[in-house]
Structure 1
Amino acid sequence: MRLRNQIQDLLPRLVLSPSFVLILIFVYGFIVFTGYLSFTDSRMLPSFDLVGFTNYFKLFGLRHWSTALGNLAIFGILYIVICTVIGLGLAILLDQKIRGEGVLRPVFLYPMALSFIVTGTAWKWFLDPGIGLEHVMHLWGWESFEFRWIKDRDMAIYTIVIAAVWQSSGFVMAMFLAGLRGIDNEILKAAQIDGASAWRLYRRIVIPMLRPAFLSAFVVLAHLAIKAYDLVIALTNGGPGRATELPATFMYSYTFTRNQMGVGASSAVIMLIMIASIIIPYLYSELREKRT
């Protein structure tokens, strides 16, 4: 009986151990290896000759990296803010128990079921002046209509924002809707009895109680923004020129196209630090709340 209990205790660990080992090697192991490469003079192939912080100094001296960081700031801020506003608005709308909620909810969520490659390709066709929206409007008689953001160096980054917001807003809506459905109705009824208007009800009670949903949405969206790669490649391929270059596309091009593996690894480490600076405080706050 004792042996049987020991086997039952060990069985879950034995089943999970291969996955744990693989994750340890192919996730955390390669993170450490990438960090090591960032301090070497690796080019086309890995090198083990240490050069200190030379790659980092070189990285921050590159105009392309500055462009990528600037684009990330524009994309990240707009992406997070617009997704949050639209997601919250849709969640409040569906929380009113409107007719057809069962149909609207999956419609809003559907874009998130698509890969970013599919989204980027679809929006590339839609925004292409030769075959997309502008072409259709011309066929309908609006010859003066013009929408060439995808070809404009100054506006192309905003096409990335449009496509990303379209894909992620439904997911943010689901997070806020879950938060709204978790609020105690007795609190809302008491506020309504005291004469609180709908605006004051949401501003003073509902939205403050959605703080965990806001924080979770921010963490998820910021993480997606920092590692955005496939959407950019499918939609603009980093162009026109380098107008939509982001850190992830920079890292790939310098590692596998320009054969500057050390510089590419250092950019990957910077991206990891960005993500960690968001994830670690979030996890710390969650663990602290659970302890209290």
Structure 2
Amino acid sequence: MSISETANPRGSVVDRLRDALPKIVLSPTVAIVAIFVYGFILFTLYLSFTNSRILPSFEWIGWQNYENLFRIRAWDTAVSNLVIFGVLYITICCALGLLLAILLDQRIRAEGFIRTIYLYPMALSFIVTGVAWKWFLDPGIGIEAVVRGWGWTTFEFNWIKDSQMAIYTIVIAAVWQTSGFVMAMFLAGLRGIDNEMLKAAQIDGASTLALYRRIVIPQLRPAFMSAFVVLAHMAIKSYDLVIALTGGGPGTATELPATFMYSYTFTRNQMGIGAASAVIMLMTIAAIIVPYLWSELREKK
């Protein structure tokens, strides 16, 4: 034992308390997350193998809920809609976000004001976005009514009422809300590119198109990966936007896995099937996020 510890034994106690204080403060949060996030994930996984209806049941039935799930036509429709929505949503958001970022990267005037306008939709909730776009797309009061009021009486834009086109209205609203956020991600990536490299390429005679195709865009790979992961998980768990905009209709034309899960769990009282669909959604998100996190950690090492 050192002389300082012998002279002041209470100092070591104070130091231990100081070291333990962050753990003590964080322990309730960690416990809450462990119970109400990971605990309920495990509970949902267990329910997906039980004969649960309106209330949880502990009668084990194995894979029957998953077998029944893939026999339900509404689930096939939800998965098909998710593929259409996800592909268009991610592709258009990335393309539009990259274009907006390139335009803002030209050091234009009022860049801060324009960037704020692009980012503003992301500050709104998906409920607000859904309600607003529902008004815009309603043939009676929205874009169709306005254009007809200007004199084009044959103009039609009734996608929200058309079962074949309604899913594309979800894409329009989602792209409007999220493309500004993707733009900010790409703009941060563009500002991190070494200007000396770009100047050297320009001196060597590289055109603007070749500059972006061979130097700029390849260096935005981390931004593309981040945007893909964020947009993909937002597409998979999309619920509030669909409910506010179309309610899953007409019929089941805009049904997505998240709305299917809610309706079968709380409306049709098929908790086991709803839990099975939730587990599949979770596994899909994990299949996207886990490889991304693994690659990021590997690069850091």
Query: Which TM-score band applies after superposition, normalised by the shorter structure?
Result: over 0.9
1:112 aligns with 2:122: yes
Write the deviation string for residues 46-99 of structure 1: whole angstroms up to 9, x where unpaired. 000000000000000111000000000000000000000000000000000011
Match of 2:263, SS state, is helix
Match of 1:142 among 147, 152, 173: 152
Aligned to 1:199: 209
1:260 aligns with 2:270: yes
Aligned to 2:24: 14
Write the deviation string for residues 123-171 of structure 1: whole angstroms up to 9, x where unpaired. 0000000111111111111111110000000000000000000000000
Alpha-carbon offset, residue 14 of structure 1: 1.0
1:272 aligns with 2:282: yes
Distance across 1 between alignment mates of 2:164 and 2:215: 41
Structure with bigger gyration radius: 2
Aligned to 1:220: 230
Aligned to 1:170: 180
Match of 2:53 among 43, 49, 72: 43
Aligned to 1:209: 219
Counterparts of 1:273-288 in structure 2, within 5 Å, are: 273-288=283-298
Match of 1:259, SS state, is coil
Distance across 2 between alignment mates of 1:186 and 1:278: 35
Distance across 2 between alignment mates of 1:249 and 1:158: 17
One-letter identity of the residue aligned with 2:37:
V
1:103 aligns with 2:107: no
Give me the TM-score of the superposition, normalised by structure 2: 0.96
Aligned to 2:243: 233
Alpha-carbon offset, residue 117 of structure 1: 0.3
Match of 1:66 among 63, 76, 84: 76
Using the aligned pairs only, state the percent identity: 73
Give me the TM-score of the superposition, normalised by structure 1: 0.99
Match of 1:23 among 10, 33, 46: 33
1:185 aligns with 2:195: yes
Alpha-carbon offset, residue 27 of structure 1: 0.4
Distance across 2 between alignment mates of 1:282 and 1:193: 37
Distance across 1 between alignment mates of 2:273 and 2:47: 9
Higher mean C-alpha deviation, range 133-142 or range 282-291: 133-142
Alpha-carbon offset, residue 190 of structure 1: 1.1
Aligned to 1:289: 299
Match of 2:88 among 63, 74, 78: 78
Question: How many pairs align?
Answer: 291
Runs of 4+ residues deviating >3 angstroms: none
One-letter identity of the residue aligned with 1:285:
S
> How well do the aligned residues superpose, as a CA RMSD in angstroms?
0.6
Match of 2:54, SS state, is coil
Match of 1:122 among 111, 132, 143: 132
Match of 2:154, SS state, is coil
Write the deviation string for residues 203-242 of structure 1: whole angstroms up to 9, x where unpaired. 0000000000000000000000000000000000000000
Match of 1:43, SS state, is coil
